[in-house]
């Protein structure tokens, strides 16, 4: 058995201080920067989506999880597959307070089900959907159409920094953390400012390596792709 594929953020910091013979008195500064680096990785480079079941209220509203920093999709499961909600910019995202309680006023279109023009004859247009959503980032809420008082599946990007347990990072991202710390320390260690640009390039290179690895397809995936572009025909 080889070493673990995940290491804790603390371990990443202690390894960095070990490798570069650094004093431990800056451990907290390095930890804070390492968390920043991890958040950036989660947001832009790693495929670490969080998939969670989440409640839709009676008003068709989903309250965002506190750690959600990027939205990826809403789904219901149909026949073993994810059925994705469709973004609709025209959904009404206001509510009305009546007697201290949050309600919806149909006069303003609140909570009114979207009616797509449907036809099953020739000439009918596509784009008819059962479920829509619109995000109110300011209120950190997702308004949905087509489903209320139910549970759906939310895929999102988390900061990756755990509030209650140990924060882990994939070990393949360790060079990114190292180069990020090396870059950032240029700004607080006297005399190292002149290395900042060079170290930023090194960080970008490390990020690209991870991104290439994450985005790369396996042999089977390439083979399936090529085969899917071909059509079998009888050999005459």
Partner 1 sequence: MIKSEIRSTVLNSLKRYDATAKSHPRVLDAECEFVLHQMIGEVFRMSPHSLQRYTKRYGYTVALAVSTEAPTGIYYTTLPENILVLPDKASGVRRVATPTQTSIKFYPMDQREWDLVAYGSYVNTVKDQIGYIVTPTRVEYYGMTGAVQTSGVRMDLLIPFSKYADTDVVLYPEHIIEEEGKSKGFIDRVVDRLLAKPQTVDLSDQNKDKEE
Q: Based on the shown chain and the rule CB under 8 A, indicate whether residue 66 belongs to the binding site for partner 1.
A: no
Contact call for residue 158 and partner 1 (CB under 8 A): no
Decide whether 57 or 167 has the Cβ nearer to partner 1.
167
CA nearest neighbour of 57 among 141, 171, 129:
141
d(CA 42, CA 118): 40
CB 179, min distance to partner 1, A: 19
Stretch in the footprint of partner 1 (CB under 8 A) among 31-39, 70-78, 189-197, 226-234:
31-39
The verdict on 202 binding partner 1 (CB under 8 A) reads no
d(CA 144, CA 67): 20
Q: Is 167 in the site for partner 1 (CB under 8 A)?
A: yes
Contacts of 229 (CB under 8 A, 6+ apart): none
29 vs 59, beta carbon nearer partner 1: 29
Site string for partner 1, 112-151 (x = CB under 8 A): ----------------------------------------
Contact between 161 and partner 1 per CB under 8 A: yes
C-beta closer to partner 1: residue 36 or 63: 36
User: By the criterion CB under 8 A, which residues form the site for partner 1?
Assistant: 8-11, 14, 21, 23-25, 27-29, 31-32, 35-36, 39, 161-163, 165-167
């Amino acid at each position: 058995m080889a070493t673990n594929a995940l290491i804790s953020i603390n371990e990443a910091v202690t390894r960095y201080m070990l490798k570069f013979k650094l004093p431990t008195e800056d451990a907290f500064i390095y930890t804070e920067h390492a968390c920043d680096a991890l958040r950036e990785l989660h947001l832009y480079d790693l495929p670490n989506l969080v998939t969670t079941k989440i409640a839709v209220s009676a008003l068709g509203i989903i309250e965002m999880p506190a750690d959600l920093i990027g939205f990826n999709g809403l789904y219901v499961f149909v026949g073993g597959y994810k059925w994705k909600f469709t973004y609709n910019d025209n959904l009404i995202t206001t509510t009305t307070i009546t007697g201290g309680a949050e309600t919806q006023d149909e006069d303003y279109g609140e909570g009114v089900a979207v009616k797509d023009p449907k036809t099953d004859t020739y000439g009918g247009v596509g784009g008819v959907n059962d479920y829509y959503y619109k995000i109110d980032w300011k209120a950190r809420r997702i308004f949905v159409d087509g489903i209320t008082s139910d549970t759906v599946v939310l895929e999102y990007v988390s900061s990756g920094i755990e509030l209650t347990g140990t924060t882990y990072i994939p070990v393949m991202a360790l060079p990114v953390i190292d180069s990020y710390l090396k870059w950032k320390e240029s700004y607080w260690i006297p005399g190292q400012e002149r290395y900042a640009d060079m170290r930023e390039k090194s960080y970008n290179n490390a990020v690209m390596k991870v991104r290439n690895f994450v985005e790369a397809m396996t042999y089977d995936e390439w083979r399936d792709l090529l085969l899917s572009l071909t059509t079998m025909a009888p050999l005459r």
